[in-house]
Amino acid sequence: MTGYKTIGKSTPFIDAAEKVTGRAVYTTDMKFPNMLYGKILRSTIPHGRIVGIDTSEAEKLPGVEAVITAKDTPLIKFGIFHEDWYILAHEKVRFAGDEVAAVAAINEDIAGEALKLIKVHYEELPAVFDPKEAAQPDAVDINGVKNNIASKFHVERGNVDQAFEESHLIIEKDFYTTQVYQAYMETMAAVVKPEDNGRLTFYLPIQIPSKTRVTYAKALGMKIEDIHVIQPTTGGGFGAKMETVLHLIAAVLAQKTGKPVRIINTREEDFEGGNPRVPMHFHVKMGFSKEGMIKAKDLVLYAGAGGRACYGVPVLGTACFRHDQLYKYENVRANGYLVYTNMVPSGCFRGFGNSQGTFCIECIMDEAAEKLGIDPADIRLRNAVYPGFVSCHGWVINSCLLQECITKAVEAAQWQEKRKEKKSGRGIGLACCNHVSGYSAFFPPFHGSAAVIRMNMDGKFLVMSGEIEIGQGQKTAFAMMAAEALDVPLENVRMAPIDTDYIPFGLGCWASRSTALGGKAIQNAAEDLKGKILQFVSQEYGIAVEQLSIANGVVVNTQGEEITDLSEIGRKYLYKTNGSYLYGQGYVDPGTVVPDMATKMGNPSITYPFACHIAEVDVDVETGVVKVIDYVAAHDVGKVINPMGAEGQIEGGVAMGIGWALTENMVYQNGVLKNSHFLDYRLPGSKDVPDMKSIFLESNDPNTGFGSKGLGEPAINPVVPAIANAIHDAVGIRLTELPFTPDKVLKAIQEKKKNKEGEPCRNF
């Protein structure tokens, strides 16, 4: 299908006006009669036994209606991949910021005063913060598992050792990535309202409303149908807004008081109790032929879970082997360990482990190219996967424009010319990435998506999807896809609010899945509804259904003559069926193969996006300051649904990647976070982000919504290695520890002058 009327056209977000005029309702705006305000008391130490908690003075404070500790909760162990959570800390605290007690009061000020009156007595225990140190046999026990190892990941293909023996060049390096914060605009929040029938209604800014019900029902000892989730307007997430105990604490307070309870994190609380990016220590060894072909790869990874495993389990596996589908690997081995530490629990963050792994591999690819005398772009072209390729892990690459991404980016960035210029302190670097559009191992029971579309009495349409909007423009993309499939004006399509009592069970916003899978379900539902509309018109007007179609919101015959408009059909159908509406239903079963737990063989995604990024930097050799001055990003997006939204995804991903590369780092002292606010946690500003050129290449995947692929996470994955490689091109240093702060840059330059490599400085 070509000549689209709606998709492919730059379209302002359909919810933009209500946001900029203040009409959008966020969780922080919600108020109910008799609503109480909750506050959470957090541990001030990274590890210790709870000897006693005295809440008596807090309970006496006028205006306080409830004070809870672990004994007031169901004390059911729960979790996402490991059952290592309690709603409130039970017997031990495992990180500074661990939730120890909570208060509900008639206003936030009184709740805050009540927290000061709670006395907690700890027996401090030794603490460990580096995941590799925490995995040693003599390390302190954090969660009652051997060597603090929450999860292991092992995969091996081919004959790795023999391939290394046959390699012309071997490069072996260590890489370090640290915890970084997602920095969404709206902090974690919840309003929980108890209902007369015993149900709980959660109003949550969350990425997974349907899946959340499963976890929270277990934690609260309730039935899933008694957990009702409504998602108000949500101010960003970037992976963090998954399950969190804040929501459950609000629920317990609501149950205890019988009143609605609202809890809103301050920014500092959000830093201390959030789910930042998983910090990792990689040891990577790669072998190459004389011609630059990858012969072997061996990776050992220690990842810091923090005090709870959360989503660190799949993040670990992703970091170990997702990038193996970027190039034509045959001999690979990976051993990964997710290790409990006494730090803030880590979790999902845009890129989901693939960004950490891509940093390592793409830096080594660049170094190999230099040592072999091959252009960095050419070594990637030689190794790049292609349409029809099946990876060593069984991933089937149905559509792929990776090679075209490289050639288009090189051309747009004037790669060859700028590499020859060699201006002082100026450098240019390249990096590629692959990713997924959904991942079947994340929620094995099913991996697709479903949608329902209703035609209203006025001939307009209501789209119901369980996939959600958190600011990325998903509502707009979905409405555009529905309008295109129905052949109606965009203004005649409305997206239903997210309410788990009415929408299909959606897996939510993660793994860059929503447009490809949710969009396909909407496309299928629209086709189903269109068929039903035409069948009804055929019966009403005595015209063969094969001679009817919808064009621009009216029903026409094969000569293009108008038969009727949809508002007339909406009324007629409703009257004729005594108040019924016409519905279309659609779902997509992606046909993926969940990777085997033992062998890791499978085909976990419906499609795979690819990208090539090129960064140009200026390095001040006197101060060590690095500035990104130009940027090109070429992406295989399958099909661009909304170019305006797609450009925003790339610009936001690159900006986020620049912060991760150059300035962002959660700094701890004895396990206590020291920069839990934006004064000291340095985010990139407008002056830190260069002009960007976005290039969209359309492979039109045959299996997804209008051929689309995920874009949100591929936009960040290559940024850090592209900048690292550009810094090397500028001043000849190879940095392996994030972030690339001026002190590290200067130290590396000085070490280079002394002809020394220098030791990386770890900061977990």
58-106 pLDDT tens trace: 999 999 999 999 999 999 999 999 999 999 999 999 999 999 999 999 9
Per-residue pLDDT tens over the stretch 666-709: 999 999 999 999 999 999 999 999 999 999 999 999 999 999 99
> For residue 18, is it within any domain?
no
Shared domain check, 748 and 710: yes
Closest to 434 (Cα-Cα) out of 382, 370, 362, 541: 362
Residues 16-37, mean pLDDT to the nearest whole number: 97
Calculate mean pLDDT across residues 611-620. 98
Give percent of the chain above pLDDT 90: 96
Nearest-angstrom CA–CA distance, 64 and 476: 43
Residue 21 lies in a domain: no
- My answer on whether 615 and 678 are in the same domain is yes
Q: What is the pLDDT of residue 756?
A: 61
In a domain, 1, yes or no: no
Cα within 13 Å of Cα(561), Cβ side = 4
- Whether the ω angle into residue 739 lies within 30 degrees of 0, i.e. cis, is yes
Cα 594 off chain centre by: 20
pLDDT tens track for 320-352 = 999 999 999 999 999 999 999 999 999 999 999
- Residue 458 CB neighbour total at 10 angstroms: 12
Same domain, 322 and 397: yes
Does a structural domain hold residue 3?
no
Same structural domain for residues 436 and 477? no
Query: Distance between CA 112 and CA 331 in Å, rounded?
Result: 57
Span 551-560, average pLDDT: 96
Same-domain check for residues 259 and 349: no
Domain limits for position 510: 448-588
Count of positions (residues) in the chain: 764
In a domain? residue 25 = no
Q: How high is the pLDDT of residue 441?
A: 86
Residue 640: which CATH number? 3.30.365.10
Q: In what side-by-side order are the strands of the sheet with 261-264?
A: 64-68, 99-105, 36-42, 261-264, 189-194, 200-203, 227-231, 498-499
In total, how many domains does the chain have?
Answer: 3
* Residue after which a domain boundary falls, among 588, 606, 633: 588
pLDDT of 2 > 90? The answer is: no
Residue 605 sits in the same domain as residue 747: yes
Look at residue 3 in the predicted model and tell me its pLDDT.
86
Domain stop point among 568, 588, 608: 588
Q: Are residues 719 and 600 in the same domain?
A: yes
pLDDT, one tens digit per residue, over 233-254 is: 999 999 999 999 999 999 999 9
pLDDT value at residue 761: 37
Digit-coded pLDDT (tens) for 170-199: 999 999 999 999 999 999 999 999 999 999
The pLDDT of residue 150: 98
Examine residue 157 and state whether it is found in any structural domain, yes or no.
Answer: no
The counts of H helices and E strands in the chain are: 19, 29
What amino acid occupies position 543? I
Which is more confidently placed, 752 or 758? 752
- One domain, residues 623 and 655: yes
Residue at 377 is within a domain: yes
pLDDT of residue 758: 47
Specify whether the CB–CB gap between 240 and 347 falls below 8 A: yes
CA distances from 482 to 144, 312, 472 (A): 51, 35, 18
The last residue of one of the domains, among 547, 564, 588, is 588
Is 137 within a domain?
Answer: no
Domain match, 558 and 480 both: yes
Task: Report the alpha-carbon distance of residue 494 to residue 461 in Å, rounded.
Answer: 6
Determine the average pLDDT of the residues in 130-154. Answer: 98
- Of 488, 487, 493, 491, the closest CA to residue 451 belongs to 493
Each residue's pLDDT tens digit, 457-482: 999 999 999 999 999 999 999 999 99
CATH of the domain at 80: 3.90.1170.50
What is the per-residue burial (b if ≥16 Cβ within 10 Å, else e) of 389-420? bebbbbbbbbbbbbbbbbbbbbeebbbeebbe
Q: What is the mean pLDDT of residues 438-447?
A: 87
Summarize the confidence of residues 528-544 as an average pLDDT.
98
User: What is the predicted pLDDT for the residue at 1?
Assistant: 44
Percentage of the residues of the chain whose pLDDT score is greater than 70 = 99
**Tens-place pLDDT, residues 44-63:** 999 999 999 999 999 999 99
- Residues 284 and 249 grouped into a single domain: no
Q: Residue 764's pLDDT band (boundaries 50, 70, 90)? A: very low
- For residue 307, what pLDDT band results from cuts at 50, 70 and 90? very high
Q: What's the pTM value of the predicted model, to 2 decimals?
A: 0.97
Check whether residue 411 and residue 501 sit in a common domain: no
Query: Do 580 and 604 reside in the same domain of the chain?
Result: no
